[in-house]
Amino acid sequence: MTAFEPAAPPPVRGQSEWTARARDVLPAGGFGNFDPGIFIARGEGSRVWDEDGNEYVDLLIGSGPMLLGHGHPEVVEAVLEQLPKGMTFFANNAHGVELAEDIRAAVPCVEQVRFVASGGEADMYAIRLARAHTGRERVIKFEGGYHGMSAEAQMSLAPEREVNFPRAVPDSAGIPRAVEDSVLIAPFNDLDAAASLLAEHDDVAAVIVEPLQRIIPPREGFLAGLRDLCDRHGVLLIFDEIVTGFRLEYGGAQERYGVIPDICALGKIVGGGFPLAAVGAGREIMAHFDLEAAGREGWLMQLGTLSGNPVAAVAGRKTMEVLRRDGAYDRLKALGGELRRIQTEALTAAGIAHRVVGDDTLFDILFTERDPVDYRSAKHDDPKINAVWNAALRGSGIFKSPGKIYPSLALTDRDLETMRAAVARAVEAVRNHPANAEGRGPR
């Protein structure tokens, strides 16, 4: 062994050993995304297996992108065909152009596309694009809305203190105070609050919104009202469709709700499980990415080593092709609807207060008697109950986020039976939780 060769690590099996190694080389022992105590070894279709060999029905699906399930044979075939031809070029490639054409055909607000590698980048550039186009600086976002990891996005994402609107609360260290002053916060689903902010501030470049905020649906007329307000004040409307794009419908939230933004951010599904995202808008707005068209003062510089990566592009194109087939969205909604029914029927029969919040394609259970409409009302009456519920589901073979269920087209009747059995055990775990005996828990 030379001085430049690292020592070979000892063979490792099992999650406890991987956890110890991760703690040595990763802050908090993980990638920052999910429970660092679980290591997924492989996925196939609707199921994943951890490093201890435990098998789960996957309702996390990589936080959304694996809508077709893991290892879909047509996506794998497309990727394997591309791999020997090249994995990345830092130059144009035909597959990226074809993917952009497919996105434009699907998403109403899009005439042109600029690719990036992550949804957070897409949101960041969408905000910067709005500022470049309007010449204004302030941004309105909604409390609890998730738009990636940029400084603006980390304003009032999950504030622990309830401050008066429109004050922004930073959720992360390292954000300059000036960013707080550039972001105004409004409660989701409150059109009057948004109207008041736009009337009081003439320097707003954009309103950015998740059309379905996390799992909270928009009230009737809310998105259309935002569209009207933005038009009235010369403000650009940004839809963050990283999650909703190609999930709610093939045309995303724009197709579902019939409201067309000025700019949208897309991610997750459009990369078919690979790192790819996009920002899209009309030609006039997108011209800011073109130095010759925009001029030096109006040019928005953007580049990325993996932007338009051909492997991600072919995976995304094939995923979108499968989703265009007859019955794909009817099946997705039927599967999601059954997952909802399994849970709410069991909880209702047990007398456990709850709300199923979201859409058949994306939802979760909140243990509350309130009807959630915004960040402050979309909470469990006792968060410990939710922890018990999710732990019981995982212990029974259901892999999910603490706050979302992502149905996929790979789900089978066997998976639904696994879910029924897991829910029955989770209901018993909640009923036996001390909070119920003490009169604080669900009734």
- What is the percent of the chain where pLDDT is above 90? 94
pLDDT of residue 11: 62
pLDDT score of 10 more than 90? no
Fold held by 73-323: Aspartate Aminotransferase; domain 2 (3.40.640)
Could you confirm whether 56 is annotated as catalytic?
A: no
Whether the per-residue pLDDT at 442 is higher than 80: the answer is no
Per-residue pLDDT tens digits for 36-58: 999 999 999 999 999 999 999 99
> Across-strand partners of 316?
none
Residues 243-269: tens digit of each pLDDT:
999 999 999 999 999 999 999 999 999
Contacts made by residues 320-329, CB under 8 angstroms, sequence distance 24+:
320/99, 320/102, 320/106, 320/246, 320/250, 320/269, 320/270, 321/74, 322/68, 322/72, 322/74, 322/75, 322/409, 323/67, 323/68, 323/246, 323/250, 323/269, 324/250, 328/250, 328/409, 329/249, 329/250
CA-wise closest residue to 429 among 396, 380, 402, 404: 396
Catalytic residue among 125, 262, 268, 400: 268
User: 175 Cβ partners below 8 Å, 6+ apart?
Assistant: 151, 154, 155
Predicted local confidence at residue 179, as pLDDT: 94
Q: How confident is the model at residue 9 (pLDDT cuts 50, 70, 90)?
A: low
First to last CA, the chain: 66
pLDDT exceeds cutoff 50 at 331: yes
Reply yes or no on whether 240 is catalytic: yes
What confidence tens digit (pLDDT) does each residue in 75-101 have?
A: 999 999 999 999 999 999 999 999 999
Whether 438 has a pLDDT exceeding 60, the answer reads no
Mean pLDDT over the full length of the chain = 95
Res. 440: pLDDT tops 90: no
Check residue 443 and give its pLDDT.
33
Q: 288 and 127 in contact (C-beta within 8 Å)?
A: no
Which residue type occupies 210?
E
Question: Has residue 2 got a pLDDT over 90?
Answer: no
Q: How confident is the model at residue 148 (pLDDT cuts 50, 70, 90)?
A: very high
Which of 2-6, 219-223, 400-404 bottoms out in mean pLDDT, i.e. has the lowest? Answer: 2-6
Closest to 378 (Cα-Cα) out of 223, 187, 248: 187
Residue 67 CA neighbour count, 13 Å, CB half = 31
| Confidence at residue 6, expressed as pLDDT on a 0 to 100 scale | 56
Domain boundaries, the chain: 39-71+328-437, 73-323
Copy the structure tokens of residue 117: 């590698």
Cα 336 from Cα 23, distance rounded (Å): 36
- Could you say which of 58, 123, 240, 374 is catalytic? 240
What is the residue whose two structure tokens read 């600029």?
114
Each residue of 202-214: pLDDT tens digit?
999 999 999 999 9
Say if CB 206 and CB 130 are below 8 A apart: yes
Cα–Cα dist 32/20, whole Å: 16
CATH code for residues 39-71+328-437: 3.90.1150.10
Looking up tokens 């998730």 gives: 146
Catalytic, 146? Answer: yes
The confidence band for 200, taking pLDDT boundaries of 50, 70 and 90, is very high
User: Can you tell me whether residue 90 is helix, strand or coil?
Assistant: coil
Which of 146, 257, 329, 406 is catalytic? The answer is: 146
At 437 the pLDDT is 53
